[in-house]
Amino acid sequence: MQSSVEPAYIQDFIHFEQHVAKLIHRAGWTVETAKPNQRGYDLAIKKDNFVGAVQVKWLKNNVTAPQLLAFANFLDSEEGQKYNFGWFITTKGFGGPAQALIKSWGQNSKIRCGIALENKLVGFDKVSVIDEEPKPGDTTQNTPKKVYFGVFTCKGGVGKTTVAAHLAGALALQGFNIALVDLDPEKNLQKLVGDGVFVPNPKGVGTTIQVFDGSDWHEDSARDCQIVICDCSPALERNPEELVKQLDYCIIPTTLNPLGINKHGKVIQDTVKEIRELNNHAHLFVLVNNFKDPGIRRLRLMKNVYFDAYKEISQTDDKFHCIDPEEVCIRASDILYYWGIHVLENPENSASRLAFDLIGGRCYPREDFISLADYIENKAGIGFLRAN
Ligand SMILES: Nc1ncnc2c1ncn2[C@@H]1O[C@H](COP(=O)(O)OP(=O)(O)O)[C@@H](O)[C@H]1O
Ligand SMILES: [Mg+2]
């Protein structure tokens, strides 16, 4: 965390975007703010016959390669082709992999990357100058509302991190940009996914999963994300209170094990109680993870006990949903067990891709998580956020 006082122009996204717009305007460009729901860029700029799209990235840390790839993908899209070039302007700087990517694009790339300082824009290496001698200008923009998901059970090892990451993957495949926030001090999510994944879409603009450490998280750092998924710490009090209060949906992973149903029932009851102390509006979904099919007869018996354990909560809390495992559950799978290994580097364009995107035929994790994403999308009505 920074101890020194930040200059006013980077205090939040709006100030930063205005600052960038000013710098560009002073260099003789006409600057227009993109419409609030416009995907891919923040400012459209024009001088003589040149039109450019500018992505303004307000971050507390360095730009990552997936964030750049998303912009490159936008510039290749039909909408993006209307622009002669793109500028990617950020607050702090560019991380190692991002710098390597920029260098691999070379001098003639359609994208130029820079940092906005107090009086000028400088290149990504802080040396090559993008523009100088600024003059005043102005713009404003509202932040579209994001949907917040938490994945929380007050117990370790039930699949919170697995569910958070793969739900992010499934939603990214369905056309959403996702911010994944790692709130667990164990940082398993970051160990597994790194700082993000770019999910290419052959039919349109690709999407990103950007990963944030809880301490770096700020809504303005993820302005292009429609969905925020928090991988929560199992100790509720260790999660930032504002975030818990902000959750619209919370997924509560559990296991359906004949010996543990009552014990797990108690864990879920405690989980719900803890969430409700801070947040009364979130829809809560209990999700069976690590499901091993016991055959239909035993499953029906187990389901009765399972639903019984939550009957009381269901009767008093109308935003509590216990997902029927026959409808949606996450099956036990070797692929999931080792799923971290499947987040592979794709050497062709240095984009990492989610493993389940690569596996054809029957792929339990992918099918299960897409069904979960569909289920939640239907219940939650987040389809309007879909961009592509
Ligand atoms: N559906 C599943 N099938 C197989 N292994 C799973 C499944 N869900 C989780 N696991 C494994 O169980 C362990 C705990 O999962 P994790 O997501 O880290 O739980 P938590 O975040 O709640 O502590 C991990 O090794 C993970 O790979
Ligand atoms: Mg975890």
pLDDT of residue 290: 92
In a domain, 309, yes or no: yes
**Do 27 and 101 reside in the same domain of the chain?**
yes
In a domain, 161, yes or no: yes
Q: Which ligand is nearest to the CA of 365?
A: 1
Q: Is 185 in the pocket of ligand 1 (CB under 6 A)?
A: no
Probe residue for ligand 1, chosen from 183, 337, 371 as the CB with the greatest number of ligand atoms within 8 Å = 337
| Count of domains observed in the chain | 2
**Do 302 and 175 reside in the same domain of the chain?**
yes
Distance 129 CA to ligand 1 centre (A): 47
In a domain, 364, yes or no: yes
Q: How many residues are given for the chain? A: 388
Pick the atom of ligand 1 nearest to 365's CA.
1
- Atom 14 of ligand 1, nearest CA residue: 157
Question: Model pTM?
Answer: 0.77
- Atom 15 of ligand 1, nearest CA residue: 159
Pick the atom of ligand 1 nearest to 332's CA.
3
Instruction: Please report, rounded to a whole number, the percentage of residues in the chain having pLDDT higher than 90.
Output: 49
**H helices of the chain, where?**
13-26, 65-76, 96-105, 160-173, 188-193, 241-246, 261-278, 296-309, 311-316, 334-337, 364-380
Q: Is 289 in the pocket of ligand 1 (CB under 6 A)?
A: yes
The pLDDT confidence band at residue 376, using thresholds 50, 70 and 90, is: confident
**Do 196 and 115 reside in the same domain of the chain?**
no
Q: Is 336 in the pocket of ligand 1 (CB under 6 A)?
A: yes
Q: Per-residue pLDDT tens for 338-364?
A: 444 344 333 344 334 455 544 334 444
* CATH code (residue 39): 3.40.1350.10
**Do 19 and 155 reside in the same domain of the chain?**
no
What token pair was written down for 287?
């999700």
**Do 74 and 151 reside in the same domain of the chain?**
no
CA torsion through residues 77, 79, 84, 88, sign: negative
What token pair was written down for 268?
């879920």
Of 22-31, 195-204, 376-385, where does mean pLDDT reach its minimum?
376-385
**Do 56 and 166 reside in the same domain of the chain?**
no
The pLDDT confidence band at residue 65, using thresholds 50, 70 and 90, is: confident
pLDDT at 211 over 80: yes
Q: Per-residue pLDDT tens for 115-149?
A: 999 998 998 877 666 654 333 333 334 556 789 99
Q: Per-residue pLDDT tens for 293-306?
A: 999 999 999 999 88
Q: Which ligand is nearest to the CA of 187?
A: 2
Highest mean pLDDT out of 29-38, 104-113, 333-342: 29-38
Q: Is 271 in the pocket of ligand 1 (CB under 6 A)?
A: no
Q: Which residues, other chains included, contact 245 with Cβ-Cβ below 8 Å and sequence gap of 6+?
A: 278, 279
* CATH code (residue 162): 3.40.50.300
Q: Which domain holds residue 300?
A: 147-387
Q: Is 142 or 209 the better-scoring residue by pLDDT?
A: 209
- Atom 6 of ligand 1, nearest CA residue: 337
Distance 182 CA to ligand 2 centre (A): 9
Read off φ and ψ for residue 333, nearest 5 degrees.
-155, 135
**Do 249 and 339 reside in the same domain of the chain?**
yes
Residue at which a domain ends, from 123, 157, 188: 123
**Do 216 and 82 reside in the same domain of the chain?**
no
**Do 153 and 33 reside in the same domain of the chain?**
no
pLDDT of residue 166: 87
pLDDT of residue 358: 40
pLDDT of residue 266: 87
Q: Is 251 or 136 the better-scoring residue by pLDDT?
A: 251
In a domain, 3, yes or no: no
